[in-house]
Structure 1
Amino acid sequence: MRKLFQADASGAPRLFSMRNMVGAALIGAVVMMTTAATDYAFGQHENNGPSPVIIGQSLQPKDSKVEVAAPKADKQEKSDDLKTRPIGSRVFKAIVEVAHPDELKPGEAVDVSLATLHGGGAHSETILKHVFVHSVERVPGSENQTPPPEEAEDAPVVVEHGHEQPEVFPTRVVGLLVNGGQLEKIRLAEAHGILRLSIHHEAAHAGMLASVMNNFVTNLFQPLLLFFFMGFAIPLLRVPFEFPKALYQSLTIYLLVAIGWHGGELMAELPSSELAVAGGLAAVGFIVNGIIGLCATWMLRTFTPMRRIDAVTVGSYYGSDSAGTFVTCLGILATLNLLHDSYMPVMLAVMEIPGCLVGLFLVSRLRRSGMDKLGNMPDEPGYMGDAHAMTVTSPAAQDVSENAETHEHHGELVAKSVGAAVAPAHKSALNLKLLHEVFLNPGLYMLFGGIIVGFISGRQAIVDPHVVEGPNNLFLVLFKGALCLFLLEMGITACQRLSDLKTAGFGFILFGVLAPVLFATFGMVALHGYSMVLGHAFEPGTYALFAVLCGAASYIAVPAVQRIAIPEASPTLPLAASLGLTFTWNVTLGIPIYIEIAQHIIQWFPIA
C-alpha cells in the first residue's frame, strides 16, 4: 500500500533495546492481568445464582461443554450434523419470536431473521441459516396467560417481497447452538430489532456450474464490486480523477485496525481448546504459504522467460497474502450470510510472513551462485560479472540501472528491472533492519495492535458489555462503507498496473490468473485435512478466507521488504501481477468460485 507501508531506510532499528524489552513486558503484563481479572469476575458472576434471561446474551458459561439431547430416529441426519458441529459451540439463549412454536423442538434446524419496523411496516432479513435449537421454553410468567391478539391466527399481516407474514409472532425463550462468529452476529442484530426464528428448509441442490454462475451474478452486482469496477473504469475512460492519498492511507489504517479489533474481540470469548486449534491452523497456514512461494517460483522459472531474480520476487509475493482481498472476502461473506471462525484475522498476519522469508532465502542462494549487481545470472543476457568484482560507483552499473531495457532470451522477451538500485557487496541476507521490516511492518503492526486491543476489551466486556459499545459502532457498522471507498482506489490502481504487463509475455499473464485458483484449492484441501485430523468442522466462510489467503499475492509487506533486501529485482512486474491480474480475478470471479469449491470439498470428504 505504497507510501504508508514503506519503511524508513535511515538505519537498522534496535529490536532488542532495553526500552523495547520493557515495553513488551508491560504489554504482556497488561494482557495477563486483564485476562485474570475478567476470569475472576466472570467466575463470580456465574456463582451468584442462575442468570436472568437477557436478550442478546448467552447464558452458557464460555468454557462449559454443551451436551445436546439425542434427536429422534426420524432426525438421524440432523444428529449427524450435530456431531460435526463447528469448534467452540455454545448456547445463545434469548427471548425471540417463533413463526411456528409447536413445530420448534430441540435438534431442529432453524433460520434466524432480524425483524425491524420501517415506515410503519415490518421488515424481516435473514441473518443466519441452518442453526440448531438446543432448548425451547415459554417466557417466564406467560404459561397461564391468554395470548395477545397480535399472536393469534388472525394477526395482521404485511407483504414483504411478495410474501405475507404477521407483524408479530409468539415469543419463546430459545437456546441456539452457535459458535463465536454466530454469537457476535446475533448480538449485533438484536441491538437493532428482534430476532425471529423459522424452520429451515433445504433448497434444491443445483449443479456446480449453475451454483458458480448464481454466486457470480449475486456477487457481481454487490456494492463492493461495483465500486471496484467504478474505479477500474476511471483510467480506461481517462477521467481526470486522483484518489486522495491521505484518504487512502486513512482507509488502510481503519480497515486493518477494524479487522484486528473484531478478531480480538471474538477471540476473547474462545475457550482454551479453540485457541489451541487456532494455533495449529496458524502453523498449517504458515507452512502452506511457504510451499506456495516455492511452487510459484518454480512455475515462473519453468513456464516464463523471466530472469531468476524476478521469478523469485514474484513467487515471494504469492507466498504472502493480500489484506485488500481478505477484507473484500469479509464483505462478501457478510452479504451472503456465510460465517467464519473468529481467529481468521490472526491468520492474515501470520500468513503474510512466509513469502518474505522464502524470497530472502532464494535470493541469498542466487547471490552465492554469482549473481551480478543488476540481478543477472551467468547464463542470462547482460551479465556483468560476479557481484564482488563490481563496485557501487561503476559507470556501467549506473547506466543500466537508470534505464528500462528488454533483452532477447531464447527468442523471447525478458522483462528487466526498472530503476533497480545497486545492493552493497557482502551484505547479509538477514539483519535486524530486515527482520524488523518483515515482522513489524506498519501493516502487521496495525493488525496485531487491533487484535491485542480487541482481545483485552473483549475480556473486559464479559463483565461490562458497554466497554465495547462505542468501538463496535465505529469498527463494525462503518466497515462496509469504508471498504467500498477502499475498493474504488484499488480499482484505479489495478487498471493502471495492467500496462506493466506489456513485456511480461503470455505465460506470465496466464500465471497471474490461473495460479490463484490452484493455490487457493491447495489451501482449502490442507485446511480440510487439518479439520479431519481434529474431527471437527470449520465454518464455510473459513474455507473462503483461507483460500484467498493462499490464492492472493501481497502488495504491502513483500514490496517493502523487496525495496530493502532485493533491489536488483523488477518492482513493476510483481505488482502488475498481484494487483492488475490476481487481485482483479479474486474479487470478481475468484471468491465465488472458492466458496463453491469449498462446499464440494466438504460434501465429498465428510468429517467422520
Structure 2
Amino acid sequence: MSVDVLISNLTNPVLLFFVLGIIASLVKSDLKIPDSSSKFISLYLLFAIGFKGGQELSHSEFNPEIIYSILFAIGLSVIVPLYTFYLLKRKIGTPNAGAIAAAYGSVSAVTFVTAVSFLENQGVSFGGHMVAIMAIMESPAIVVGVILIMLNDRTKEEKKSIGGILKHSLTSGSVLMLTGSLVIGLIADASQARGIEPFTTDIFKGFLSLFLLEMGMVTANRIKEFKKHGLFLFFFGIMVPLFNGMVVAYTSRFLTESEGNRFLFAILAAGASYIAVPATMKLAEPRADPGIYIPMALGITFPFNITIGMPIYYAVVQLF
C-alpha cells in the first residue's frame, strides 16, 4: 500500500471533519447539527450522488459489462448475508445475526460517497452505472437477511410477509431518494441538468464534510454503548469488511478493467448499512438489538473503511 495514498486519505479535509466530530463528542462539546439540518444534508447527499450518477449513465453506452456488473452486485448482496449469518448465528442468536447479515450485505451510501471523493483526489475516473449498482444492492441483502431469520426462527411468532418486507425496503426514504434521483438524472435533458450543476457538484464536498462531522459525533457515542458486547463483534466489524473488500478488489478484475469501478465494487462489498437496514429491521424484526448492529456498522466498519480500508482496497486494485 502506498504511504502517500494513505497520508493523502488521512489528511483529506472531508475525513478530518469526521475526526473533529469524534473529538467534539469525547470532550463533551455542545457542538451539534440540528436534526432538521442533518436530515436535509442526508437527503442532499443521496440526491446529488444519484442525480450525477444518472447523468453519467445517460452518457454511457449500455454494454455487456454493465449487465455483468449488475449481476455481480446482486450476487454479492446475496452471498455476503448468507455466510455472515451462519458465522454469527450461534454467537448472538438468529434475530441479531439476521440483522447484521442484512447490514453487511447491504451498502453504505456515505462510504460510497467518501470513496468517490477519494477517487477524485487520486484523479481516477469511474462509470456512472456504479451509482445504479449501489442502489440495486441495497434491497436484496435486506430481504435475504429477513428470509434467513424466518427460516431459522424456532419460535412460533407470526411470520413476516416477504412481499411487505420487499415493499418497505424499496420504498424507504433513503432508497427512494437515491433511485429516484438516479432515474431523473438519467432522463433529464443534459442542457437543463447543467442548470443545477453548481448545486449537485460545487458544494457537494462541503455538505459531505458537515455530514461526516455529525457522523463522527454519533460514532463516538455509539462505540461507548457497544463495548459491553465484547471483542468478537469488534473484530468481526473489521475483519469481515476487510476480507470482502480485498476479495472483491481482486475478483472484479475479471469483470472490468476500470480501476475506479473495481475500487467502488470493493467499497460496496466492504460497507455496512446503518440507514436503510435499521429502518427496515425496526419493522421486520424488532427483536434484533439495534444497540449491536448500528454501532458495528457506524462505529467500527465505517471509520475503518474511510481511513485504513480505502487505501488497502485501492492498493489491491493497483497490484492486480
**Do the structures match in fold with TM over 0.5?**
yes
State the Cα distance separating 1:546 from its structure 2 match.
1.0
Question: Counterpart of 2:67?
Answer: 279
- Picking from 271, 278, 298, the partner of 1:579 is 298
Structure 2 gaps of 5+ residues are: none
How far the C-alpha of 1:566 sits from its partner, in A, is 0.5
Contact 1:364 1:429 in 2 (8 A): no
**1:78-227 map, 5 Å:** 208=1, 211=2, 213-227=3-17
Out of 214, 227, 246, which is 1:489 matched to? 214
2:91 counterpart of 1:366: no
Identify the structure with the greater strand proportion. Answer: 1
Q: Could you tell me which residue of structure 2 aligns to residue 253 of structure 1?
A: 43
Q: Which amino acid aligns with 2:160?
A: S
Match of 1:265 in 2: 55
2:106 is aligned to 320
In the alignment, what sits opposite 1:296? 84
CA distance in 1, matches of 2:76, 2:247: 8
Partner of 2:139: 353
Partner of 2:181: 450
Task: Indicate which of 160, 176, 184 corresponds to 1:428.
Answer: 160
Match of 1:561, as an amino acid?
A: T
- The CA distance in 2 between the partners of 1:530 and 1:509, in whole Å, is 32
Max Rg structure: 1
1:557 shift after superposition: 1.3
Counterpart residue number, 1:340:
126
**Distance across 1 between alignment mates of 2:296 and 2:65:** 34
Aligned-partner residue type, residue 289 of structure 2: S
Q: Report the Cα distance in structure 1 between the residues aligned to 2:79 and 2:159, rounded to whole angstroms.
A: 26
Partners of 1:502 and 1:470 lie apart in 2 by 48
**What is the 5 A alignment of 1:442-591?**
442-457=173-188, 460-461=189-190, 465=191, 467-531=192-256, 537-538=257-258, 540-591=259-310
Letter in 1 for 2:93: R
Matched residue count: 320
Would you identify which runs of 4 or more consecutive aligned residues in structure 1 move more than 4 Å?
none
Aligned-pair CA distance for 1:284: 0.6
C-alpha deviation, 1:272, in angstroms: 3.3
Structure 2: how far apart are the matches of 1:506 and 1:429? 35
Deviations 1:82-117 (Å, cap 9, x if unpaired)?
xxxxxxxxxxxxxxxxxxxxxxxxxxxxxxxxxxxx
Q: What whole-Å deviation, never above 9, does each CA across 1:235-263 have from its counterpart, x for those lacking one? A: 11111222211111111111111111111
Aligned residue for 2:289, secondary structure, equals coil
**C-alpha offsets along residues 552-589 of structure 1, whole Å, 9 cap, x if unaligned?**
10011111110111111111100010000000101111
CA shift, 1:593, in A, is 1.1
> SS in structure 2 opposite 1:272?
coil
Cα deviation, 1:158-215, whole Å, max 9, x if unaligned, reads xxxxxxxxxxxxxxxxxxxxxxxxxxxxxxxxxxxxxxxxxxxxxxxxxx4xx1x221
Output the amino acid matched with 2:67.
Answer: G
How far residue 500 of structure 1 moved from its aligned partner, in angstroms, is: 2.0
2:250–2:316 contact (8 Å) kept in structure 1? no
Contact 1:355 1:558 in 2 (8 A): no
Distance in 2 (CA, whole Å) between partners of 1:246 and 1:280 is: 40
How far apart are residue 312 of structure 1 and its match? Answer: 2.0
Of the structure 1 ranges 560-569 and 577-586, higher mean CA displacement relative to structure 2 is found in: 560-569
| C-alpha separation in 2, matches of 1:256 and 1:489 | 16
* TM-score, L = length of structure 1: 0.51
In 2, Cα distance between the equivalents of 1:347 and 1:527? 14
Paired with 1:229 and 1:336, the residues of 2 have a C-alpha distance of 21
Q: Secondary structure at the match of 1:503?
A: helix
Decide whether the 8 Å contact of 1:228 with 1:491 is kept in 2: yes
Cα distance in structure 2, aligned partners of 1:300 and 1:587: 24
CA apart distance, 1:279: 2.5
Aligned mates of 1:428, 1:440 — CA distance in 2: 17
Aligned AA (1:299): L
- Partner SS state of residue 207, structure 2: helix
Aligned equivalents of 1:429, 1:502: Cα separation in 2: 34
For residue 280 of structure 1, report the CA deviation from its aligned partner. 2.1
For 2:83 and 2:260, the matched residues in 1 are separated by 26
Distance, in Å, in 2 between the alignment partners of 1:307 and 1:500 is: 19
The percentage of aligned residue pairs carrying the same residue is 30
User: Which residue of the partner structure matches residue 594 of structure 1?
Assistant: 313
Q: CA deviation at 1:524?
A: 2.2
Give 1:435 deviation, angstroms.
Answer: 2.2
Q: Quick one: which amino acid aligns to residue 239 of structure 2? A: L
Q: Distance in 2 between matches of 1:272 and 1:296?
A: 33
Amino acid at match of 1:543: R
5+ residue gaps, structure 1, are: 1-207, 372-386, 388-424, 532-536, 602-608
Name the structure with the higher helix share.
Answer: 2
Q: What is the one-letter code of the residue matched to 2:4?
A: N
Give a deviation string over 1:253-279, Cα, whole Å, max 9, x none: 111111111111111112232xx4223
> How far does the alpha carbon of each residue in 1:269-298 deviate from its partner, in whole angstroms, 9 at most, with x for none?
12232xx42232111111112111112222
The structure-2 alpha-carbon separation of the partners of 1:542 and 1:272, relative to structure 1 and needing over 3 Å to count, comes to closer
Using the alignment, how far apart are the partners of 1:588 and 1:478 within structure 2?
23
User: How far did residue 216 of structure 1 move?
Assistant: 1.2
2:130, 2:282 → 1: CA distance? Answer: 28
Match of 2:21 among 231, 235, 243: 231
